[in-house]
Structure 1
Amino acid sequence: MRILLLVALLAVQPAVARTPPVQVEDATIAWVPGLVMPHAAFVRLTNTGERSLRLTGARSDDFARIEFQRPSQSAFTMWDPLSLPRLIEPDRTLTFGPDGPRMMLFVQSGRLEPGDTADIQLEFQGFDPLPVTFTVRKVSPY
């Protein structure tokens, strides 16, 4: 009887949120005049924990699809898919920026203008999604 009571109590306990140990900096969506979609998103992610982190994806209610891309090694295309997961070692930073890998945001729910914000959830293996607010700024996506 006591075992059943213990199991029942554990079943109704709220899950403990596991926030990834990440410092987020410069979460920016590049605004290009006249561009409706897609937009490039840039961010710096620093692992502040003691173990390696694996970035496995991203999602948002503001965009239908988010792709991770990197500069192409081919003369025929500018960007290639970036394979996931991306490993971030302790005390190391993964940068998504104009000159390197980036997140491409497709099919937005509304027009974006400088100063607007969009929420993107970054997904790390073994952790709850990390909500990050990105600000639309006038920066070159290239």
Structure 2
Amino acid sequence: MFVLVNGLIAGLGLAAFLALGDGLFETSTFPVLIDVSYVPGMENLPSIAELLIHLFISVIIAFFLMYFYPRDNRGKTIRYLLCWMLAFAVAFLPFSLLSKVQMTWTAFFIWVLGHLLYTMMLSIQVARNR
């Protein structure tokens, strides 16, 4: 239950942050986050269904991030979280290309900041519940 709740909250926080960033800076990071039109059979899903898929994936990511979270060494924890952040940052390129969204440095920066927020929300919850 802990992973489900925190995965949903962090996923909603990420979606809200990217939508806000898109509104303020005229980027398209939120559509990159939820777009699944490149998956066969999911070409014409409504946006709410795409958001629910994103939240489901967020819960799965939260499970793995929390399950393997190092609990004994601060240095290992920082390296672990940096690896997740690197994976999230690298994911921007293929998801942008698959979504056919224009890639800009501003969009990439918003994407990375949003995923930093996501990672921080989950890591704070893990630290609180040790």
Common topology (TM > 0.5): no
- Identify the structure with the greater strand proportion: 1
Q: What TM-score do you get using the length of structure 1 for normalisation?
A: 0.25
Q: Of the two, which has the highest radius of gyration?
A: 1
Q: TM-score, normalised by structure 2?
A: 0.26
More helix by share: 2
1 or 2 for the larger relative contact order (CA 8 Å, sep ≥6)? 2
